[in-house]
C-alpha cells in the first residue's frame, strides 16, 4: 500500500531540502517550490480526507515499522477521526501561509524551508501513534518556529522566540517525564499509543503522569496561567507564522490532551474535572477580559485565542462524548478563524504599518473587502451561527452542561465578553469617521493577499453551514476516546 | 406544503447569494430582493390559506391542528443529532404573513428611501439576510434552530444598525444592540442547555410531550423558561435590556420600521408564544413574563413622553407595546399577545415609515425643529395620524381591538397592579403620540436646513437621506463603484430638485410614490386588522387556538377608551392648542422630567458598568497578566539567569577542574547508588 | 611448575611492572621520561594480552601504541618542549583533590569488584585471530566501517589542524 | 634408505634434535623449572652467538662487495682475505671509551641502544629457518614482525633526544617520520601475502608456497615490501637521517664505542631479518626450489640442500640486493622520500591488495 | 591461579593512576598520556573478559567480542591521539605553551 501518511509528512521536508539546494538568488523558484510542495501535501491530505472511512473508529492508513524494538518504539503512523481534521487543517493553513508569505523579502530561502520543516513536524505530531515518535515530532516543530519568529519577527523577536521555545520546552520536558512514567510504571511497557490506552497503571502514578503530560499540553494550548508566551510570540511573529502558530500549533496542545489525557487516563481526568474545568473557565473569561483592553490588534487576537482554547479545555474537562467532539470541532474551527484573523491583521498592518487600535479607525471605506472579511471572521470568532465558530462552541456547551453545569454557565458569559471585544475592536478599527491619515490606503488587491483571505472566509462559512463535513469525521473516533476499558473498570 | 415552506425560507437566501456573488447593479439588487421577498410573501399567503384549510378541517374533526414539519439532519456530535427544518402551524403562518408583508412593503419603500446611497447593494443584501433569518426563526421547529436564527437576526440587526458605519453613533449603537441582546441570549442558551440536559431534545413538540408526561416540570422547567425568557427580554427590548432599541434608531428608518418595530423585536414575543405550552407548565416563569411585560410597557411609555427625536418616541413606544404583548402572554392570553403583535406590526411599521418619510422630506428628526409639515406632506401626515390613532387605541382602529384584548386578559387574570399599569400606559401612549404628531405636522417649521459639518477631505454628495451623508474621498469620487451616487433608484427622482439650501420649511416635500404607496397600503391593515379579533367573534384567536376566547369586558373597554381620549386631549391641549404650557409642565415635574430625559439613568448605569467597571476590571487583569502572570514567568527566567551567573564562577575554563568535578561526581553517585541499592 | 604457574609468574611480573610504569608516567618529573615509561607500559600490556591469549590484540597494541601513538607523543613533546629541565611535567594546583578522587574511585572500583563473584574458566578459541576477523567483517561490519571513517576523518582533521597556515 | 633418511632428517633438524637431547640430559638431574631456565639460557646464548656471527659476516661481505663494485679491494689484511676484519673492528669498538655528552639525558641516552637492539633480536623469534627450526611459531608471526620492528622508532627518538644535540634530534625525527611512513605500505604489502596464505604464521606462509613462490603471484607486493623495508632500515638510497653532508651522522652522532657498535649491530640484524622475511614471504623460505620445480613436472627430486641452507642462501642473495642498491643508487631527497611512500608505494600496495582480493575471490568462485 | 579478578584489580589500579595523572598534570601531553593509560586499563578488562567469560550458547564467537571492543578502542584512541596532538601543536603555535591552565577560552 502506498504510504500516504509518510508521504504527506515528509513531502514538505523534501521541499525544504530542495529549497535549501536552490541558489539564494532564485527567489521565484524558491517560492514555486514551497508552493508546489505544500500544495502537494495539501492535495494528499485531501485525498486522505476523501479516502477516510467515516464509520471506523480505529486508526486508518496505518504504517508501522519497528524502530527500537527493544524499547517498544516503532515508527507507527495512522489517522483516526481525531487526527484527520488537523492534518487537513495543517496542510491547508501551511499552503495558505506560503501563499500569504509570497512577498517576503528577507531571506526567502530560509523562510520557506523552515516553514515546510515546521509543517512536517506538526503533521508528524498529528499522525504519530507512537508516543516517542509523537514527542520527537513535537520537538521538531520547535526549532523552525524559533527561527521563524526570531528572524522574521518584530522588534522584540528574540525575546518572544526564546520565551516561546523555553516555555514549550519546559512543558515538553515534563511531558517526557510523563511519557516515561507511563512507559515504566504501566503494565504495557510500550510507547504504542493504542496499547497504552489499554494498559493498567497505579492510580497515583497515573495522576502524576497525567499532570506532567497535562502541563506540557496546557502550555501549548495555552491555558491560563501558562499562556503569556502566546501574546509575545504572536505580536512579534510575522503574519504567516502567526497563522500557523494560532491555527495549528495551539491545536497540538488540545490534540495531545484528547489523545493522551483523555484517551489514556480518562479516570484521572474525571477525578480532576472540576479543577481543569475551572482552569478552562478562567481561561475563557480571563482571556476575553484581557483581550478587551489590548492596544495592539495582534495581541487582542492572541488573547482571544487563550479565551477560545478555553472552550476546548472545558470540553475536555467535561468528558462527555459530545463535549469531546465539541472540543475537537472547536479546535478545528478556531484554527480556521484565528488563522483568518491573523491574516487580516497582517494585511491591515501591511498597509497601516501600525497595529495600535487607537490609531486606526474608519478603515472600512478604504478597504471594503478586508473589512467585510474581518467582520465575517470577527462574527465567526464570537460564535455566530452559520459560521464555523458556532458549531464548536455550541457543541462544547451542549456536551459540557450535563457534566459541569455551573462551570458551563459561567463559561457562557465568555460568549458575551467575546462579542464585546470583537465588536468593539471592529468598531474602533474599521468604523467611525474616515481617518484622513489612511486616505491613501488600498484594499487587499494582490492575489496572494486575496486568495488566502477568501479561501479561509469561505471555509469558515462552509464549515458553519455544512458542519457534517467535519463532524462526520470527528464523530468517528472522538466521542469514544473517553471510553477506555480502564475508565469503565474504574466506574 | 413543506416545499412551500422551504421556498419561503430559501428565496431570500438566493437573493442574498446572488447579490453577494454576482454583484449586480445596485438597482437590480434592490429589485432582486423585492422579487425574492415578494415570492416569499406569495408563498406565505399560500401557506397561510393551506394552514387555514387544515385548521378548519381539524376543528371540524375536533382535533388539534397538526403542524407541518419537515426536518433534515444537520450534523451529529457525541450522542446528539442536530437537526434543522421547517415547521408550520397557525402561529407560524400568521407570523410568516406579518413578516413577509411588512418586509415586502419596507423593501419597496427602501427603494425610494435608500436611493443613491453608496451602500445600496449592501443594504439589500443585509435586508435579504435579515428576511431569511427572520423567516428561519419563524419556521424553526426546535430551540436549536430558533437560537441559530435568533442570533442571525441579531447580526442582521447589528449590520443594519451599523449600516452607516462611518457615523460613530451608528457603530456604537450597533455594537450595543448586539451585545445587549447577546446578554439575553446567554440566558436563552443556558435555558436551552438545561432543557436539553433534562430531556435530550431541542424539539418543541418533544419538549411539550415531555412536559405532558411529567418528565419535565417544577423548578427545573421554571428556571429554564425564565432563562429562555431572558432571550426574549433581550430581543424584544424588555426591561432591563431595553436600552439598545432607542439607540438602534441610528440605522436607516426602513430598518427601524421593519426590524426594530415590526418583526425582529417581536421575535421575543414569538419565542414566548412558540414555547407557550412550556410556559404554561411553569406558572412562575409566566408570572415573570407578565410582570416584566407590564412594567416595561409602563416604564417605556414614561420615557416616550419626553423624547424629542421622532424616531426615539416611536422606539419607546415600540418597547412599551412589546411590553403589552408580553403582558398579554404573561397572563396566559396567547392569542391576545399575538394579536397585538399582529396589529402592532402594521401600525408601527406605518408609523416608522411615515416618520422616515418625514425625515426624508424634511431632513430633520428633532420634533422641536419640525413643524407644519402637514401642508408639505399631506399623505405622510394622514398615514402618521392613522398609525398614531391606532397606537393610541382609538376605536375602531386595529390597535384598539388588540390592546383591548390584552387588557381584558389582564383583567381576567385578576392582577390589579398589572391592569393599572396597562391602563396608565394606554393613557400615556395616547398622549405622547398626539404630542409627536402635533409637533411634527401642526404649527410652523422651527428648524434650519443646514447640512451637518463634514470632516475635511470629503465632499457631501447630494443625497436625499439626511441621516447618512454619503462620503466618498475627494480625489476618487466613485470609490470602488459600490452604488454610484449618480444611480437613482426607481421613482426616487421626483421632487428632489431643491431639496436643500432653500428657506426654512420650504424645502420639505412629500416623499416619492414608491414610499407613499407602502404607507397607504400599510394604513389599511392598521385600520381594519382589528376586526379579525373582535371580542366575541375572535377569528384570530380561534385560528391560533382552535377555540373561542373569553368575552370582552365592558369596563375595561370603557376605561381604556376614556384614558386614551384623555391622553389625546391632554396632548392637544399642550401641544396643539397650547392651552397648557409644555414648559410649565416640564418645570412642574422637573425632577421627574430630568429622570425621564436621562432614561432613568439606566443607560448611564450600563455605560458605567461596561465602560468603567468591566473595562476597569479588564485593565486590572491585563496589568495582572503583564506584571504578575508574565512577571512570574520572567521571574523564573531571571532566577535561572541569576543561578546561572552564580554557577558561572565554577566555570573556570580549566578542563582539569571540570574533569575533576565529573569524576568526583562519578565516585559520589556510584557510592550513593551502591548504598541505596544495598549492593 | 605447570602452565598456570608460568602464567602467574608472568602476570605478577607484568602487573608490578605495569603499575610501576604507570606510576612513572604520572610521577616522573621529565615529560620525556613519562613518555618512555608509557612505552614500557604499552609493551607490558602487550605481554599481558599474550597472557590472555590475545596475540592479535597484543600485536596491534604494539604496532599502534608503541609504533604510532607513542611516537606521536614523543614528536609532540619534542616539537613543543625544547627544555631538558627536570620539571617539564609538573602537577597542577588540584593535585591533592585529584589524588583524593582517584583514590576514591579506586576504592569504589575495588569494593565493587570485591563484592562480585566473577566467572572463571572461559576458553579462547584456538583460531581466535580468524574468528576476530570474521567478527570484524561480520556482525561488527558497521562499527568497523565507522571506525575506518573515523580514522580517515581524524587523519584529515589532524593534518588540517596541525598544518601551519 | 632408512639410514639415509635418518641422516637427512638429522641434518634437516639439527638444532631441535640437539636441543631435545640436551633437555633430556638435564632433566635427569635438575628439576623441571631449572631445566627450562638452563635451556632458555643456552638457547639465548646460541642465538646471540649466531646473530653476532651473521652480522660480522654481513659487514665483511658488504665491505668487500662494495669495494668490488667500486673497483677497489676492501679490507683484506686481517686474516685470509680479511675474514678476521670484523673481529678486529669489534675489539676496537669495545676498547673505546663510552662517552656520554655532558648535556645529555643520561638514562635516555643509555637506554636508547638497548631499545634499538632488543627488538632487532626479538624479530628472529618468528623467522622459520626450517619447518621445525623456528623459535616461536606465532599465529600472528608476520604481524609480530611489523609490531616489533616498529619499536625501533622509539629507540631512534630516544637516541636523538638523549644526545641533546640538534643534529641528533633532527636525524632522529627524520628517521622516525621515515620509518613510520614506510611502515604503512610495508604492512599493506604483507597483507597480500597473508591473504594468499590464509595465515599470518610464517611457517604457514612458507608451507603455502610449496607449489608456487609468492614472488610470482605478488611481484608488486615484493617490490613494495622490499623498497619499504629498505627505507625502514635507513639504508641507501633512503639513508637520509645519516646524511653526513646535512646532519653530520644523524641520531647516533654522539655515540661511540660499544654503544655505536650496538647501533650497528641492530641495523644489520634488522637488515638480515628483513631479507629473511622477504625470503619467507616471497621466495619459499626453506623450501628447495629444486623440489618445487620437480613437483610441477611430477618428478620427485631431492632437495639437494638442507632446508636452513636453502633459507640462508636465499637470504644472503636478497641481502646482496641491498649491497647492490647501496653501490648503485644515489641518496634521494627528503620530499622524494615521503612522496615515494605516500604517492607511489601506498597506492601500489592498495592496488595490489584490491587485485589480490578480486583474484582470490574469482579463484574461489572458479574452484568451488 | 590468576583469575579474572586479578586483571580487573590491575585494571582498576592503572585506571586510577591514569585518572590521577589526567586530573593532576599540567602538561597537556602528560594529560593525554594519562588518558591513554585509562584507555588501556579499560582494554585490559575487555580482553580479560574475552579470556575468562564462558562462551554463551548460540554465539559461535563467544566472548571474543571483548577483543573486538578492545580493537575499536585502540582505533579510536589512535584517532584521538592524532587529533589531540594536532590540536596541541596548533595551540602551541598560538600560545607558545602546552599548559592546560593556559587554555581557558571556556572561561566565562
Over residues A242-264, the pLDDT tens digits come to 999 988 999 999 999 998 888 88
Cell of B503: 428657506
Which regions of E1-108 does DSSP assign to beta strands (E)? none
By three-state DSSP, how is residue D70 classified? Answer: coil
Predicted pLDDT at A460: 92
- CB contact under 8 Å between C101 and B679, yes or no, is no
Greatest Cα pair distance, chain B, in angstroms, is: 114
ipTM above 0.85, yes or no: no
With touching defined as 3 or more inter-chain CB pairs under 8 Å, the answer for chains E and A is no
The Cα–Cα gap between A298 and A300 comes to: 5
Predicted pLDDT at B364: 75
Predicted pLDDT at B465: 40
Beta partners for A65?
A75
Cα end-to-end distance, chain D, whole Å: 40
- Counted across chains A and B, CB pairs separated by less than 8 A come out at 169
Q: Is the pLDDT of residue A282 over 80?
A: yes
Q: Is residue D33 assigned to a domain?
A: no
Q: Do D305 and D313 contact (CB within 8 A), yes or no?
A: yes
- Nearest one of D152, B467, E71 to C56, comparing CA atoms: E71
pLDDT tens digit sequence for E49-102: 888 887 776 666 677 888 888 999 998 888 988 888 888 888 888 878 778 777
- Residues of B (628-667) whose Cβ lies below 8 Å from E: 648, 651-656, 659-660, 663
Q: Do D329 and D236 contact (CB within 8 A), yes or no?
A: yes
**Which of D111, D140, D157 lies nearest to residue C74, judging by beta carbons?**
D157
Q: Is the pLDDT of residue C36 over 60?
A: yes
The Cα–Cα gap between A377 and A456 comes to: 9
pLDDT tens digit sequence for B85-94: 888 888 888 8
Q: Is the pLDDT of residue B117 over 70?
A: yes
Higher model confidence: residue C115 or residue A135? A135
Distance from CA of E90 to the nearest CA of C (A): 5
- Residues of C (56-115) whose Cβ lies below 8 Å from B: 92, 94, 97-98, 101-102, 104-105, 108, 111-112, 115
Residue A165 DSSP label? H
The phi and psi torsions of A262 (rounded to 5 degrees) equal -80, -45
The C-alpha cell 428556571 sits at B223
Predicted pLDDT at B547: 56
The Cα–Cα gap between A386 and B75 comes to: 13
- Burial class (CB within 10 angstroms; exposed 0-12, middle 13-18, buried 19+) of D361: exposed
Q: Is residue D219 assigned to a domain?
A: yes
Taking only Cα atoms into account, the Rg of chain B, rounded to an integer number of angstroms, comes to 30
Predicted pLDDT at D247: 61
Predicted pLDDT at B461: 38
The Cα–Cα gap between D303 and B284 comes to: 132
**Which of B657, B663, B679 lies nearest to residue C115, judging by beta carbons?**
B679
Q: Do A134 and A75 contact (CB within 8 A), yes or no?
A: no
Chain E interface, mutation test: which of B643, B651, B656, most E Cβ atoms within 10 Å? B656
**Which of C53, C77, C122 lies nearest to residue E29, judging by beta carbons?**
C77
DSSP A334-382: HHHHHHHHHHHHHHHHHHHS--BGGG----TTT-HHHHHHHHHHHHHHT
- CB contact under 8 Å between C98 and B670, yes or no, is no
Per cent of chain B over pLDDT 70 is 89
Mean pLDDT for the stretch of residues B523-544 = 78
Q: Is residue D131 assigned to a domain?
A: yes
Cell of B167: 457615523
Would you kindly state where each structural domain of chain A is located, as residue ranges? Answer: 4-481
Mean pLDDT for the stretch of residues B243-268 = 84
**pLDDT-wise least confident of B585-589, C28-32, C73-77, C82-86:** C82-86
- CB contact under 8 Å between E83 and C80, yes or no, is no
Length of chain E counted residue by residue: 108
Q: Is residue D75 assigned to a domain?
A: no
Q: Do B533 and B540 contact (CB within 8 A), yes or no?
A: yes
**pLDDT-wise least confident of A132-136, B473-477, D206-210, E88-92:** B473-477
Mean pLDDT for the stretch of residues B613-638 = 88
Which residues touch E33 (CB under 8 Å, ≥6 apart)? Answer: C25, C34, C35, C38, C73, E21
Higher model confidence: residue A117 or residue A203? A117
Predicted pLDDT at B679: 54
Domains defined for chain E, CATH in brackets: 4-95 (1.10.287.3510)
Mean pLDDT for the stretch of residues A98-127 = 91
Cell of B398: 386595529
β-pairing, A60-68 vs A73-79, is antiparallel
CA distances from A140 to A145, A163, B278 (A): 9, 17, 57
pLDDT band at D248 (very low <50, low <70, confident <90, very high): low
- Nearest one of A335, A143, A112, A305 to A224, comparing CA atoms: A305
Predicted pLDDT at D244: 60
Distance from CA of B331 to the nearest CA of A (A): 29
Q: How distant is the alpha carbon of residue C151 from its chain centre?
A: 18
- CB contact under 8 Å between B653 and E31, yes or no, is no
The Cα–Cα gap between B79 and B201 comes to: 11
Per cent of chain D over pLDDT 70 is 97
Sign (positive/negative) of CA torsion B297, B299, B305, B307?
negative
pLDDT band at E10 (very low <50, low <70, confident <90, very high): very high
The Cα–Cα gap between C21 and C27 comes to: 10
The Cα–Cα gap between C24 and C20 comes to: 6
Q: Do A301 and A345 contact (CB within 8 A), yes or no?
A: yes
Number of domains comprising chain D: 1
Quote the mean pLDDT of chain B: 80
The Cα–Cα gap between B343 and B340 comes to: 5
- CB contact under 8 Å between A472 and B76, yes or no, is yes
Amino acid at each position: 500500500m502506498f504510504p500516504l501518511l509518510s508521504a504527506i509528512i515528509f513531502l514538505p521536508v523534501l521541499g525544504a531540502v530542495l529549497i535549501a539546494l536552490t541558489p539564494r538568488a532564485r527567489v521565484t523558484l524558491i517560492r514555486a517550490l514551497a508552493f508546489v510542495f505544500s500544495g502537494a501535501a495539501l492535495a494528499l491530505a485531501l485525498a486522505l480526507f476523501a479516502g477516510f472511512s467515516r464509520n471506523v473508529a480505529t486508526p486508518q492508513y496505518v504504517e508501522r515499522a519497528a524502530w527500537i524494538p527493544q524499547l517498544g518504539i516503532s515508527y507507527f503512523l495512522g489517522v483516526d477521526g481525531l487526527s484527520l481534521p488537523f492534518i487537513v487543517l495543517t496542510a491547508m493553513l501551511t499552503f495558505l501561509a506560503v501563499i500569504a508569505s509570497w512577498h517576503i523579502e528577507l531571506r526567502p530561502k530560509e523562510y520557506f524551508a523552515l516553514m515546510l520543516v515546521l509543517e512536517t513536524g506538526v503533521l508528524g505530531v498529528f499522525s504519530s501513534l507512537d508516543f516517542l515518535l509523537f514527542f520527537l515530532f513535537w520537538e521538531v516543530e520547535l526549532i523552525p518556529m524559533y527561527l521563524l519568529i526570531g528572524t522574521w519577527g518584530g522588534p522584540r523577536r528574540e525575546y518572544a522566540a526564546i520565551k516561546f521555545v523555553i516555555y514549550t520546552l519546559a512543558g515538553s520536558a515534563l511531558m517526557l517525564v510523563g511519557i516515561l512514567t507511563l512507559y515504566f510504571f504501566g503494565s504495557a511497557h510500550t510507547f504504542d499509543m493504542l496499547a497504552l490506552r489499554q494498559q493498567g497503571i497505579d492510580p497515583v502514578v497515573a495522576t502524576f503522569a497525567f499532570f506532567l503530560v497535562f502541563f506540557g499540553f496546557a502550555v501549548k494550548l495555552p491555558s491560563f496561567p501558562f499562556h503569556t508566551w502566546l501574546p509575545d510570540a504572536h505580536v512579534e511573529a510575522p503574519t504567516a507564522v502567526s497563522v500557523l502558530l494560532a491555527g495549528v500549533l495551539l491545536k497540538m496542545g488540545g490534540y495531545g490532551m484528547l489523545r493522551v489525557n483523555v484517551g489514556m487516563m480518562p479516570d484521572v481526568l474525571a477525578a480532576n474535572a472540576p479543577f481543569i474545568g475551572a482552569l478552562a473557565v478562567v481561561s475563557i473569561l480571563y482571556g476575553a477580559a484581557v483581550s478587551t483592553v489590548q492596544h495592539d490588534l495582534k495581541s487582542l487576537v492572541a488573547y482571544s485565542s487563550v479565551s477560545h482554547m478555553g472552550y476546548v479545555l472545558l470540553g475536555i474537562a467535561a468528558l462527555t462524548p459530545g463535549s469531546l467532539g465539541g472540543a475537537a470541532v472547536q479546535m478545528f474551527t478556531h484554527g480556521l478563524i484565528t488563522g483568518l484573523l491573523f491574516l487580516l491583521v497582517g494585511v491591515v498592518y501591511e498597509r497601516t504599518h501600525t497595529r495600535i487600535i487607537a490609531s486606526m479607525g474608519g478603515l472600512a471605506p478604504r478597504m471594503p473587502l478586508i473589512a467585510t472579511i474581518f467582520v465575517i471572521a470577527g462574527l465567526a470568532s464570537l460564535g455566530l451561527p452559520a459560521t464555523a465558530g458556532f458549531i464548536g462552541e455550541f457543541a462544547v456547551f451542549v456536551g459540557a452542561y450535563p457534566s459541569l453545569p455551573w462551570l458551563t454557565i459561567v463559561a457562557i458569559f465568555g460568549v458575551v465578553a467575546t462579542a464585546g471585544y470583537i465588536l468593539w475592536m471592529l468598531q474602533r478599527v474599521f468604523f467611525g469617521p474616515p481617518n484622513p491619515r489612511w486616505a491613501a490606503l488600498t484594499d487587499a488587491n494582490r492575489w496572494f493577499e486575496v486568495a488566502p483571505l477568501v479561501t479561509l472566509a469561505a471555509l469558515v462559512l462552509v464549515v458553519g453551514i455544512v458542519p457534517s463535513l467535519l463532524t462526520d469525521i470527528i464523530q468517528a473516533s472522538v466521542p469514544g476516546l473517553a471510553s477506555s476499558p480502564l475508565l469503565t473498570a474504574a466506574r | 406544503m413543506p416545499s412551500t415552506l422551504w421556498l419561503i425560507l430559501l428565496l431570500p437566501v438566493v437573493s442574498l447569494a446572488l447579490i453577494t456573488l454576482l454583484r449586480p447593479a445596485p438597482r437590480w439588487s434592490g429589485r432582486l430582493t423585492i422579487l425574492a421577498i415578494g415570492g416569499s410573501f406569495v408563498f406565505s399567503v399560500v401557506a397561510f390559506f393551506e394552514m387555514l384549510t387544515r385548521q378548519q378541517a381539524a376543528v371540524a374533526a375536533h382535533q388539534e391542528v397538526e403542524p407541518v414539519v419537515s426536518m433534515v439532519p444537520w450534523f451529529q456530535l457525541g450522542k446528539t443529532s442536530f437537526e434543522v427544518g421547517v415547521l408550520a402551524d397557525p402561529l407560524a403562518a400568521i407570523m410568516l404573513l406579518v413578516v413577509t408583508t411588512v418586509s415586502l412593503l419596507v423593501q419597496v419603500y427602501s427603494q425610494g428611501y435608500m436611493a443613491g446611497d453608496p451602500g445600496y447593494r449592501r443594504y439589500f443584501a443585509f435586508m435579504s439576510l435579515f428576511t431569511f433569518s427572520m423567516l428561519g426563526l419563524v419556521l424553526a421547529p426546535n430551540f436549536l434552530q430558533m437560537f441559530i436564527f435568533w442570533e442571525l437576526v441579531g447580526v442582521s440587526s447589528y449590520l443594519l444598525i451599523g449600516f452607516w458605519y462611518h457615523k460613530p453613533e451608528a457603530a456604537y449603537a450597533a455594537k450595543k444592540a448586539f451585545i445587549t441582546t447577546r446578554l439575553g441570549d446567554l440566558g436563552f442558551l443556558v435555558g436551552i442547555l438545561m432543557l436539553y440536559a433534562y430531556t435530550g431534545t431541542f424539539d418543541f413538540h418533544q419538549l411539550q410531550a415531555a412536559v405532558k408526561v411529567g418528565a419535565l416540570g417544577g423548578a427545573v422547567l421554571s428556571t429554564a423558561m425564565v432563562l429562555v425568557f431572558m432571550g426574549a427580554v433581550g430581543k424584544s427590548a424588555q426591561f432591563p435590556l431595553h436600552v439598545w432599541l432607542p439607540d438602534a434608531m441610528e440605522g436607516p428608518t426602513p430598518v427601524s420600521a421593519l426590524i426594530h418595530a415590526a418583526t425582529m423585536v417581536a421575535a421575543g414575543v414569538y419565542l414566548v408564544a412558540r414555547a407557550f405550552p412550556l410556559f404554561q407548565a411553569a406558572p412562575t416563569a409566566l408570572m415573570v413574563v407578565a410582570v416584566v411585560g407590564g412594567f416595561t410597557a409602563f416604564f417605556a411609555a414614561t420615557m416616550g413622553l419626553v423624547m424629542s427625536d421622532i424616531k426615539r418616541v416611536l422606539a419607546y413606544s415600540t418597547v412599551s407595546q412589546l411590553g403589552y404583548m408580553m403582558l398579554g402572554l404573561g397572563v396566559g392570553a396567547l392569542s391576545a399577545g399575538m394579536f397585538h403583535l399582529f396589529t402592532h406590526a402594521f401600525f408601527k411599521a406605518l408609523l416608522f415609515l411615515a416618520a422616515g418619510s418625514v425625515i426624508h422630506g424634511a431632513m430633520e428628526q428633532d420634533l422641536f425643529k419640525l413643524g407644519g409639515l402637514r401642508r408639505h406632506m399631506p399623505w405622510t401626515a394622514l398615514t402618521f395620524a392613522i398609525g398614531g390613532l391606532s397606537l393610541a387605541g382609538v376605536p375602531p382602529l386595529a390597535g384598539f381591538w388588540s390592546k383591548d384584548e390584552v387588557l381584558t386578559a389582564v383583567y381576567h387574570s385578576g392582577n390589579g397592579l398589572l391592569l393599572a399599569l396597562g391602563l396608565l400606559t394606554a393613557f400615556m401612549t395616547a398622549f405622547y403620540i398626539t404630542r409627536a404628531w402635533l409637533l411634527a405636522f401642526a404649527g410652523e417649521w422651527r428648524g434650519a436646513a443646514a447640512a451637518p459639518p463634514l470632516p475635511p477631505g470629503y465632499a457631501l454628495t447630494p443625497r436625499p437621506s439626511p441621516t447618512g451623508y454619503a462620503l466618498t474621498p475627494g480625489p476618487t469620487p466613485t470609490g470602488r463603484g459600490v452604488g454610484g451616487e449618480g444611480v437613482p433608484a426607481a421613482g426616487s427622482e421626483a421632487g428632489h430638485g431643491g431639496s436643500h439650501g432653500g428657506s426654512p420649511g420650504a424645502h420639505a416635500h412629500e416623499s416619492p410614490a414608491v414610499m407613499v404607496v407602502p404607507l397607504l397600503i400599510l394604513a389599511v391593515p392598521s385600520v381594519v386588522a382589528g376586526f379579525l379579533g373582535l371580542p366575541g367573534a375572535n377569528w384570530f384567536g380561534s385560528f391560533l387556538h382552535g377555540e373561542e376566547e373569553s368575552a370582552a369586558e365592558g369596563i375595561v373597554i370603557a376605561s381604556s377608551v376614556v384614558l386614551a381620549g384623555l391622553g389625546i386631549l391632554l396632548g392637544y391641549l399642550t401641544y396643539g392648542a397650547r392651552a397648557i404650557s409644555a414648559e410649565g409642565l416640564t418645570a412642574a415635574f422637573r425632577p421627574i422630567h430630568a429622570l425621564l430625559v436621562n432614561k432613568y439613568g439606566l443607560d448611564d448605569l450600563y455605560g458605567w458598568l461596561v465602560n468603567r467597571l468591566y473595562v476597569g476590571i479588564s485593565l486590572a487583569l491585563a496589568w495582572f497578566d503583564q506584571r504578575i502572570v508574565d512577571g512570574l514567568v520572567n521571574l523564573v527566567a531571571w532566577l535561572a539567569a541569576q543561578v546561572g551567573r552564580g554557577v558561572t564562577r565554577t566555570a573556570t575554563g580549566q578542563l582539569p577542574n571540570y574533569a575533576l568535578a565529573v569524576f568526583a561526581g562519578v565516585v559520589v553517585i556510584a557510592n550513593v547508588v551502591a548504598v541505596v541499592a544495598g549492593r | 611448575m605447570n602452565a598456570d604457574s608460568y602464567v602467574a609468574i608472568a602476570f605478577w611480573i607484568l602487573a608490578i611492572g605495569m603499575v610501576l610504569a604507570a606510576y612513572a608516567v604520572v610521577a616522573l618529573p621529565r615529560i620525556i621520561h613519562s613518555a618512555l615509561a608509557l612505552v614500557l607500559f604499552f609493551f607490558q600490556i602487550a605481554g599481558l594480552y599474550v597472557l590472555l591469549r590475545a596475540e592479535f590484540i597484543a600485536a596491534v597494541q604494539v604496532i599502534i601504541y608503541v609504533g604510532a601513538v607513542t611516537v606521536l607523543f614523543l614528536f609532540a613533546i619534542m616539537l613543543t618542549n625544547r627544555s631538558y629541565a627536570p620539571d617539564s611535567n609538573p602537577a597542577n594546583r588540584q593535585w591533592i583533590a585529584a589524588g583524593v578522587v582517584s583514590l576514591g574511585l579506586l576504592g569504589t572500583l575495588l569494593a565493587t569488584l570485591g563484592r562480585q563473584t566473577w566467572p572463571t574458566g572461559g576458553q579462547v578459541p584456538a583460531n581466535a585471530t580468524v574468528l576476530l576477523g570474521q567478527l570484524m567483517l561480520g556482525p561488527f561490519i558497521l562499527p568497523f566501517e565507522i571506525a575506518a571513517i573515523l580514522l580517515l576523518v581524524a587523519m584529515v582533521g589532524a593534518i588540517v589542524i596541525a598544518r601551519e597556515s | 634408505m632408512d639410514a639415509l633418511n635418518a641422516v637427512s632428517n638429522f641434518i634437516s633438524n639439527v638444532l631441535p634434535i640437539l636441543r631435545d637431547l640436551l633437555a633430556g640430559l638435564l632433566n635427569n638431574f635438575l628439576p623441571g623449572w631449572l631445566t627450562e631456565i638452563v635451556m632458555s639460557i643456552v638457547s639465548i646464548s646460541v642465538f646471540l652467538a649466531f646473530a653476532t656471527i651473521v652480522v660480522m659476516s654481513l659487514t665483511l661481505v658488504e665491505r668487500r662487495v662494495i669495494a668490488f663494485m667500486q673497483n677497489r679491494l676492501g679490507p683484506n689484511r686481517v686474516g685470509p682475505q680479511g675474514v678476521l676484519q670484523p673481529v678486529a673492528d669489534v675489539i676496537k669498538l669495545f676498547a673505546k671509551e663510552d662517552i656520554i655528552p655532558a648535556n645529555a639525558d643520561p638514562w635516555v641516552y643509555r637506554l636508547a641502544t638497548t631499545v634499538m637492539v632488543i627488538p632487532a633480536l626479538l624479530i628472529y623469534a618468528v623467522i622459520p629457518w626450517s619447518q621445525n627450526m623456528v623459535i616461536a611459531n606465532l599465529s600472528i608471526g608476520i604481524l609480530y614482525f611489523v609490531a616489533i620492528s616498529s619499536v625501533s622508532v622509539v629507540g631512534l627518538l630516544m637516541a636523538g633526544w638523549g644526545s641533546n644535540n640538534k643534529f641528533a634530534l633532527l636525524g632522529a625525527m627524520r628517521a622516525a617520520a621515515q620509518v613510520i611512513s614506510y611502515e604503512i605500505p610495508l604492512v599493506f604489502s604483507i597483507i597480500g601475502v597473508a591473504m594468499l596464505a590464509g595465515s599470518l604464521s610464517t611457517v604457514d606462509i612458507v608451507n603455502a608456497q610449496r607449489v608456487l613462490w609468492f614472488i610470482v603471484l605478488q611481484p608488486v607486493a615484493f617490490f613494495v615490501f622490499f623498497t619499504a623495508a629498505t627505507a625502514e632500515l635507513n639504508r641507501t638510497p633512503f639513508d637520509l637521517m645519516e646524511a653526513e653532508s646535512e646532519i653530520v651522522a644523524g641520531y647516533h652522532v654522539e655515540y661511540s664505542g660499544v654503544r655505536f657498535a650496538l647501533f650497528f649491530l641492530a641495523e644489520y640484524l634488522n637488515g638480515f631479518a628483513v631479507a629473511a622475511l622477504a625470503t619467507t614471504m616471497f621466495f619459499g623460505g626453506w623450501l628447495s626450489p629444486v623440489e618445487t620445480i620437480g613437483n610441477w613436472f611430477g618428478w620427485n627430486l631431492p632437495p639437494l640442500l638442507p632446508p636452513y641452507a636453502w633459507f640462508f642462501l636465499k637470504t644472503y642473495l636478497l641481502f646482496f640486493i641491498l649491497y647492490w642498491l647501496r653501490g648503485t643508487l644515489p641518496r634521494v631527497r627528503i620530499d622524494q622520500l615521503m612522496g615515494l611512500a605516500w604517492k607511489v608505494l601506498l597506492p601500489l600496495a592498495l592496488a595490489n591488495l584490491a587485485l589480490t582480493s578480486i583474484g582470490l575471490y574469482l579463484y574461489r568462485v572458479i574452484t568451488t | 591461579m590468576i583469575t579474572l579478578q586479578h586483571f580487573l584489580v590491575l585494571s582498576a589500579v592503572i585506571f586510577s593512576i591514569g585518572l590521577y595523572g589526567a586530573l593532576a598534570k599540567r602538561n597537556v601531553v602528560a594529560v593525554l598520556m594519562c588518558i591513554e593509560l585509562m584507555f588501556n586499563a579499560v582494554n585490559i578488562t575487555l580482553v580479560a573478559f574475552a579470556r575468562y567469560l564462558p562462551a554463551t550458547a548460540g554465539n559461535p564467537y563467544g566472548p571474543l567480542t571483548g577483543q573486538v571492543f578492545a580493537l575499536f578502542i585502540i582505533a579510536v584512541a589512535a584517532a584521538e591521539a592524532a587529533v589531540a596532538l594536532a590540536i596541541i601543536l596548533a595551540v602551541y603555535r598560538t600560545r607558545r605553551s602546552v599548559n592546560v591552565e593556559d587554555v581557558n577560552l571556556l572561561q566565562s
